[in-house]
Chain A
Amino acid sequence: MKIVTDMKQGVLLVRIEGEFDMHGADEFRRQVDNALDVSGVRNILLNLENVSFIDSSGLGVILGRYKRISLAGGQMMAAHVQPQVARILELSGLFRIIGLYDTETEALNRF
């Protein structure tokens, strides 16, 4: 799994590529926590366009980061969620706390 972080309109943008399982989860946690520490921002946008698979390990670290930023009043959004990943987000209930949008621009306007 490949993770690239960037800042856009004061939001931490996290672009992920690959299969989001326990192997990628540790790297996601490390990189996102580090970017949050360095930038001090409290909003996260996940671009999941190139995520073809997610399981409960991936959901767990997303939820962990959500808990961290929501304590500081931050929000989490996701853009370009593929159908098979959207299905897992729905089943887990995560879609109730993470806004899902078609594009990065659309999501960025909702923060």
Chain B
Amino acid sequence: MGMKNHLKMSFPSLGENVGIARITAASFAAQLDLTLSEIEDIKVAISEAVSNAVIHGYAQTSGQVEVTMNLYEDKLEFIVTDYGHGIADIDQARQPAYSSDPERMGLGFVFMESFMDQLEIESAVGQGTKVRLVKNFVSNSSH
């Protein structure tokens, strides 16, 4: 299962960069024959993961966010990493309507889970969070 293409970006935790990461992910995904709705799914999931890193990972502080994009024969993998506060209780954070802020809907992880085929979260308090998102697709040998 070889890697066919990959891209790594690193940027400071600024709100402006959420859109840049999302559009880059959509462009990376566009090298495949995906439907518009599949591309939209990826944009929402990446937007949620990067927003979480900026809003929660680096709450009251700032730091670097890394997004790694890997294309395999049958799947697209996105890894969003921050080196911020970390999540104390991952199970709680994944619950719908769980949010540390009343202006937020607590849907970040719910959207990532609904729009992608796999979601894995690794986190350590004080060290940061790594979110791995995978979208499977039917590999087409004509590519």
Contact = CB atoms under 8 A, between A and B. Distances in A.
B51 A22 contact: yes
B107 A56 contact: yes
B40 A22 contact: no
Contacts of B19: 19, 21, 23
A26 B51 CA distance: 13
Query: Chain B at the A interface: mostly helix, strand, loop or mixed?
Result: helix
Nearest to B99: A60
A92 interface: yes
Interface of B: 15-16, 18-19, 22, 36-37, 40, 43-44, 47-48, 51, 54-55, 99, 101-108, 111, 114
A84 B37 contact: yes
B114 A91 contact: yes
Interface of A: 19, 21-23, 26, 29, 53, 55-57, 59-61, 63-64, 84, 87-88, 91-92
A61 B103 contact: yes
Contact of B105 (A22, A23, A29, A59): A59
A56 B108 contact: yes
Q: Report, nearest first, the 3 A-B pairs whose CB atoms are least far apart.
A: A23-B15, A56-B107, A60-B104
Given A55-B44, A55-B51, A60 B114 contact: no
Contacts of B37: 84, 87
B15 A55 contact: no
Contacts of B22: 19, 21, 53
A94 to B, nearest CB: 8
